[in-house]
Chain A
């Protein structure tokens, strides 16, 4: 896991400067298209003709490709092997060995699933690579998402790296006292508690003071909050979002119509 807060890469680009909601809407409509749209090759087309160009426009092309390969390759390999061998509706055998036989239906199913997941994961990846989490949350709470939800998410993003650092400290301390974290299963289970106990209790103790601290800063005061940071949005982007919403609805409608007939 990276020790930074998120996937975000601060660069100046047309994609970075888009309103966060536009990018979120884009991610959701691409996913809907990939899962409910027509044709076996639509997801691949969306990936190569929409997502990859946008990642290049956003100057994060290298990171985009690297991260998506790192995240997806193991799953895809597994998916293709298992599905081509075990797909339940498989009849057309391509080749077989010992008790196994690979079917073309399985390969097609694996391809369909893999490309859909590719679009799903990389749509979010594009959003996350080009949007700072606090910008996204600020924009969402300005649009009516409860401030407490936005507080929970941004605060979590800051607490996790600290707790990881604390875990490493405790782990080192316990090891230097001779705690064995390797060996057989029983040994490893036994080594878990001295690691986890101090970590959990020390962070729970802080909760009360932190609650006082945000109360002292008027967090629960029932007035309409304002925002220090102004997040740019434009008429054009708003229109674009409506178009994407309409397209998503049409895709879902198409799918429902298909299943009814």
Chain B
């Protein structure tokens, strides 16, 4: 059985008539990195909240179809069971600070205190995660006196320290500057390489093209494409749904029109594939 299984999922937020997600089917295996792309309002956040249990538990509304995440069925289990298995990090780094802790070190320990972890083990786990997320130099600072990128790494560390089975990321870099984004992407890449199951909504397609195993493209609450990065991002109908295509694909398309791209070669989605194509034509 897959780690995440959604069957025929349809969801309405309270007091709304049109569904935020409609007839969605999705299976994600353990260790897989799935990226979700789509325009604003396509349902990316809604899907993230569903996998992390906040739909239906926090947002209420109507959920139809079946959901199973790490063996949990939201109709039978509460939010508490979800948060022990699924970690959620979202866009705004500032709002993810608990607000009840005065240093980064204590902030990261907050989740473990709530799980009732023994203090000695707590310190070990916090130290370890601080090393992994490269925030040793921040640990005594106030979580509010940090840059957006630093705050987002603290938010990631605070979730990772709880050792979730699945990490759900809802556009974690959309409010960060380029340097902050890069630092956060680096941590996510490390986690992916360690074999963590990751679900990530993201509009920076160049990045997901390189690291995701599969991509799900959403439009108006429906799945329009699910497959490898090349299958999804190379597909010509994406722009119709307001989904940006990789700038490497854009370059290759222009090159193809000008007769500068090998005709048999498929459209590239990553920098490497793009370079290979040009090398072929030069040769």
Asked if the two chains touch in their complex, CB atoms less than 8 Å apart, one says yes
Given A155-B100, A210-B99, A215-B58, A221-B144 contact (CB < 8 Å):
no
Give the interface segment out of B26-34, B62-70, B86-94: B86-94
Judged by a CB distance under 8 angstroms, whether A164 is at the interface is no
Asked whether A225 lies within 8 Å of B113 as measured between CB atoms, the reply is: yes
Asked whether B83 lies within 8 Å of A215 as measured between CB atoms, the reply is: yes
Chain A residues, Cβ within 8 Å of B105:
228
Given A218-B84, A226-B113, A206-B118 contact (CB < 8 Å):
no
**Chain B nearest CB: distance from A171 CB in Å?**
21
Complex-state Cα separation, A185 to B76, whole angstroms:
59
CB < 8 Å neighbour of A217 from B58, B111, B117: B111
Chain A residues, Cβ within 8 Å of B100:
134, 150-151, 154-155, 158
**Chain B nearest CB: distance from A260 CB in Å?**
47
Could you give, for residues 115-157 of chain B, a 1 whenever the CB lies within 8 Å of some chain A CB and a 0 otherwise? 1111100110010000000000000000010000000000100
Residue of A at shortest CB range from B164? A216
Could you give, for residues 221-245 of chain B, a 1 whenever the CB lies within 8 Å of some chain A CB and a 0 otherwise? 0000000000000000000000000
**Chain A nearest CB: distance from B244 CB in Å?**
25
Asked whether A162 lies within 8 Å of B144 as measured between CB atoms, the reply is: yes
Asked whether B115 lies within 8 Å of A213 as measured between CB atoms, the reply is: no
**Chain A nearest CB: distance from B71 CB in Å?**
18
Complex-state Cα separation, A216 to B79, whole angstroms:
9
Residue of A at shortest CB range from B52? A216
In the complex, chain A residues 199-239 whose Cβ is within 8 Å of any chain B Cβ = 206, 209-230
Asked whether A218 lies within 8 Å of B162 as measured between CB atoms, the reply is: yes
Asked whether A213 lies within 8 Å of B96 as measured between CB atoms, the reply is: yes
CB < 8 Å neighbour of B119 from A210, A221, A226: A226
Residue of B at shortest CB range from A134? B102
CB < 8 Å neighbour of B98 from A214, A221, A223, A230: A214
Complex-state Cα separation, A221 to B78, whole angstroms:
10
Judged by a CB distance under 8 angstroms, whether B54 is at the interface is yes
Number of residues of chain B lying within 8 A (CB) of chain A? 41
**Chain A nearest CB: distance from B162 CB in Å?**
7
Complex-state Cα separation, A144 to B80, whole angstroms:
22
Most A CB within 10 A of own CB, among B52, B102, B109, B126: B102
Given A162-B144, A210-B95, A212-B90, A218-B114 contact (CB < 8 Å):
yes
**Chain A nearest CB: distance from B178 CB in Å?**
24
CB < 8 Å neighbour of B113 from A154, A158, A228: A228
**Chain B nearest CB: distance from A56 CB in Å?**
27
Judged by a CB distance under 8 angstroms, whether B271 is at the interface is no
Judged by a CB distance under 8 angstroms, whether A65 is at the interface is no
Residue of A at shortest CB range from B49? A212
Judged by a CB distance under 8 angstroms, whether B158 is at the interface is yes
CB < 8 Å neighbour of B122 from A206, A219, A226: A226
Judged by a CB distance under 8 angstroms, whether B106 is at the interface is yes
Judged by a CB distance under 8 angstroms, whether B110 is at the interface is yes
Between-chain CB contacts (< 8 Å), 17 pairs: A151-B98, A154-B100, A155-B99, A158-B102, A210-B99, A211-B58, A214-B98, A216-B87, A217-B114, A217-B159, A218-B83, A219-B114, A220-B80, A221-B80, A224-B116, A227-B113, A228-B109
Interface residues of A (CB under 8 A from B): 5, 132, 134, 150-151, 154-155, 158-159, 162, 206, 209-230
